[in-house]
Amino acid sequence: MGIMGLMAPWANRIGPVLHQEERRLEPFHPGATDVGAAPADTLRAEDKTLAAECRSGDLRAYERVYAMHGARMKNLARNLLGNPTDAEDAVQETFIKLQRSIGTFRGRSSFATWIFRILVNTCYDARRSRMRKKEFTVEGENEVPPEPRSPGAHPSLRLALERAVATLTRQQRNVFLLYEVEGFRHAEIAEMLAISETASKNTLFQAKKNLRQLLDAPRGSGALGAR
Amino acid sequence: MNITCKDRDRVFEDRTEAEWSALESHANTCAVCAEEIAAWKDLSVTAAELRDYSENPALWQRIQRSLREESARTLERKQRTRWAALWQTVGIPWQTAAASAFALILIVGGGWFYLYRPSQDSSELLKSKALSEVERTESAYVQAIAKLDRNAQSRMENPETPLLASYREKLLVLNSAIDDLRTQAGLNPSNTHLRYQLLAMYQEKQRTLEEILEDKQ
């Protein structure tokens, strides 16, 4: 039994209706609405205004940034780092870096793209430093217990997916989480990760192919269950 | 548009609306493609399991505090570097002129100090003056006692009475004590206590020599 087997009890939840509720605009989802549906010029102007307010040291502007992106930032950080405590630290660090380098934001990319790029780099810095720390501590000594998720989430399905995502390459993990979980478009992901749009699409394809193999593998084979 | 099983991966990777519709039409007659499309879509839906946008109200408070602290640190750094920044705003010719003026002031000041510097510290001068006066007086006193000593020398070489022998012993002790004190005073010339002790010894020696000479008469 693979991914399909794993998801079989959830067949009702993953029916076609849900597909149409995806918020990202995709060519094959004519009914879907794009999050960033506002004209690009308007968005750029808003970004510049927000950046200027942040540059002036206005904490309310930062609060607005947090209100707009905080939840998604924390979610992405949690998926990259594996626990909520580290994720919150990463979000905090990202805001400090944002404050330090706000003067360098020129508005060539969107403000959100810029912030998430900082966040992704911060998460990988945190992962590296955690790996170094782990070398000096006994395994499991500082392990943070998993945070309870929203009631709707199915623990075994989420756990299986988390484990499978963790086995992907860094770039595949980034693209998968940004596209499928956070709902960014390939153009935005390309800007965030400094890759081409085509590379983003290709990486997502590879990531999903690998995930399918991992989740489809029979449980007895140990491909997923043993991880 | 004609789409076959072979095109499936390409459509998954970089699809257009038309290609996707064509693939779905093809899936109506192909069970394998239908299963693949369903699995592909399901993976996207499953990804929603990784979404958890629950709020932690304390997080923003934490971020706000750290942003305030960072602002304060930045301000402090700016104030520290303000003078350096001010210097950088001055043009190169002015910087050169200021550096030249500073160098000129250093040279003139140094020259003036070299020419008109005080030869010695005044307190040091007074101290050495007093000390040399003491040493001069002491030397005169020692010479006067030495004269008395020479006069008494003939009697001391061969003491005729037990009293003279006792004087001789006393003089030997006094001379030894004087030598010790002079050695110590040489190491520490400004020690007044030693000087007074030395003076007392000289006075005792003077009195002893006078008694010897009086006894002779």
State the ipTM, two decimals.
0.71
Which pLDDT value is given to residue B122?
59
Question: Which chain A residues are within 8 Å of B64, Cβ to Cβ?
Answer: 59, 62-63
pLDDT number for residue B124: 63
Residues of chain B neighbouring A180 (CB-CB closer than 8 A): 43-44, 47
Residue of chain B with shortest Cα separation from A69? B53
CB–CB of A154 and B49 under 8 A?
Answer: yes
Cα distance between residue A35 and residue B150, in whole Å: 123
Does A184 have pLDDT greater than 80? yes
On chain B, the residues whose CB falls within 8 A of the CB of A71 are 53-55
pLDDT at B45: 87
Q: Which residues of A touch B35 (CB under 8 A)?
A: 4
CA of B76, closest CA in chain A: separation in Å? 14
Cβ neighbours of residue A161 under 8 Å, at least 6 residues apart? Answer: A211, A215, B46, B47, B49, B50
> How close is the nearest chain A Cα to the Cα of B108, in Å?
47
Question: pLDDT per residue over A87-142, tens digit each?
Answer: 999 999 999 999 999 988 887 888 899 999 999 999 999 999 888 877 766 555 55
What is the rounded distance in angstroms from the CA atom of residue A45 to the CA atom of residue B214?
122
Largest CA distance in chain A: 59
pLDDT in tens, chain B (217 residues): 778 888 888 888 887 888 888 888 888 898 988 988 888 888 888 888 888 888 888 999 999 999 999 888 888 888 887 777 777 777 888 888 989 999 999 999 999 988 887 665 556 666 677 778 888 888 888 888 888 888 888 777 777 788 888 888 888 899 999 999 888 888 888 788 888 888 899 889 888 888 888 876 5
Only one residue has tokens 């086995």, namely: A167
* Closest Cα in chain B to A71: B53
The whole-number pLDDT of residue A23 equals: 43
Give the nearest chain A residue to B48 (CA atoms). Answer: A181
Tell me the Cα Rg of chain B. Answer: 54
B62: chain A residues, CB-CB within 8 Å: 88, 92
Sequence-ordered list of residues with C-beta below 8 angstroms from that of A225, at least 6 positions apart, any chain: A219
Please, what is the average pLDDT of chain A? 76
Mutate to test the interface with B, among A76, A200, A202, A208 (most CBs of B within 10 A): A208
* Chain B neighbors of A157, CB-CB under 8 A: 46, 49
Q: What is the pLDDT of residue B132?
A: 82
Residue A206 pLDDT > 70, yes or no? yes
State how far the alpha carbon of B141 is from the alpha carbons of A103, B72, B137, B138, in Å: 88, 77, 6, 5
pLDDT on residue A33: 38
pLDDT at A222: 41
Q: What pLDDT does residue B19 have?
A: 85
- Output the pLDDT for position A69: 92
| CA pseudo-torsion sign B83, B86, B91, B94 | negative
- Quote the DSSP letter at residue A145: P
Q: Please indicate whether residue A18 or residue B162 has the higher confidence score (pLDDT).
A: B162
Average the pLDDT over A182-207 and give the result.
93
Using alpha carbons, select from A61, A89, A55, A60 the residue that is nearest to residue A73.
A89
Res B10: pLDDT: 87
Amino acid A113: pLDDT = 92
| B49 vs A: CB within 8 A | yes
Residue A223 predicted with pLDDT over 70:
no
User: Between chains, do A3 and B39 touch, taking CB under 8 Å as contact?
Assistant: yes
What distance in Å separates the CA atoms of residue B217 and residue B212, rounded to the nearest whole number?
9
